[in-house]
Amino acid sequence: ATGSRETLPPPETLDQVESGIAQCRLCPIGELCTRAVMGEGPRDAGLMIVGEQPGDQEDVEGRPFVGPAGQLLDRHLARAGIDRSAAYLTNAVKHFKFVPRIVQGGKRRLHQSPTAKEIDTCRWWLESERRLVQPKLVLALGASAARGLLGKTVSISKARGTPTTLEDGSELWITAHPSYLLRLDGDAAEQQAELFARDLAAVRSRMR
Ligand code: URA
């Protein structure tokens, strides 16, 4: 997909989303990384979990949430009684955005947050996934995911705890991104882990 999105027919299957994102150059992020990372999970999942973008490991493996943030997410999902394999996991942005750096003599790819414009450009794909999977519950991890779903910026601390109804009637819950939890330590880490666990428990209580 190059050029204007208006000239593209909306994808009718998740396979079309997958081939579409692989070719998409509506923003420049896809030029540098290895591959687009497609969402993963049942095509009729009741819960969709949305992250920001693939990280270094996700870009290498081609699967969402397999790196450190994904492992922390897995532990919290298990603790909340949410079966990861029953959820559809995807990202607001489908390619890994990074800057190359030499750190301690080795090459590293340092994560860079996507801009609002990049998130808004990639919404076309996220909205397609949502239209095709039709989850009743959507969980946004962090501000980029929330923007991808709402098309506007919201504050996580204000938005968390109370769901928003999306235009298709599904319920959107917003919480922090697990990589934020990974950056904290001490009391702050504990407090944020508790808040995160509380948000997941609230989502779990809305599942059948
Ligand atoms: N962080 C995300 O937001 N998504 C992933 O897939 C992995 C890490």
Q: Which two tokens stand for residue 135?
A: 């989850």
CA angle 164, 12, 43 (to 5 degrees): 60
Residue-wise pLDDT tens digits, 151-201? 999 999 999 999 999 999 999 999 999 999 999 999 999 999 999 999 999
CATH code assigned at 32: 3.40.470.10
- Please give the single-letter amino acid code of residue 58: E
Domain residues for 125? 5-205
Q: What residue spans of the chain are helical by DSSP H?
A: 14-23, 56-61, 68-80, 116-133, 142-150, 156-159, 178-183, 186-205
For a mutational test of ligand 1's pocket, the pick from 29, 35, 40, 52, i.e. the residue with the most ligand atoms closer than 8 A to its C-beta, is: 52
pLDDT of residue 164: 98
Using the predicted structure, report yes or no on whether residue 3 has a pLDDT greater than 80.
no
Instruction: Report the pLDDT value the prediction gives residue 155, as an integer from 0 to 100.
Output: 98
User: 139 pLDDT band (50/70/90 cuts)?
Assistant: very high
Q: Which residues line ligand 1 (CB under 6 A)?
A: 51-55, 58, 64-65, 67, 69-70, 91, 179
Strand, coil or helix: 42 = coil
* Structure confidence at residue 4 as a pLDDT band (50, 70, 90): low
Q: What pLDDT score was predicted for residue 33?
A: 97
Q: ipTM score here?
A: 0.91
Atom of ligand 1 nearest to the CA of 51: 3
- How buried is 58 (Cβ within 10 angstroms: 0-12 exposed, 13-18 middle, 19+ buried)? buried
Q: What's the pLDDT score for residue 8?
A: 78
pLDDT digit string, tens, across residues 51-106? 999 999 999 999 999 999 999 999 999 999 999 999 999 999 999 999 999 988 89
pLDDT of residue 65: 98
Q: What pLDDT does 52 receive?
A: 98
CA 121 to ligand 1 center in whole angstroms: 18
Q: How far apart are CA 142 and CA 180, in angstroms?
A: 8
Give the N- to C-terminal CA distance of the chain in Å, as an integer.
Answer: 38
| Ligand 1 centroid – CA 11 distance (Å) | 23
pLDDT digit string, tens, across residues 7-58: 778 999 999 999 999 999 999 999 999 999 999 999 999 999 999 999 999 9
Distance (angstroms) between ligand 1 centre and the Cα of 141 equals 9
CA of 171 to the centre of ligand 1 (A): 21
pTM value > 0.90: yes
Ligand 1 centroid, distance to 55 Cα (angstroms):
5
Our count of domains for the chain comes to 1
pLDDT band at 6 (very low <50, low <70, confident <90, very high): low
The pLDDT value given to residue 1: 52
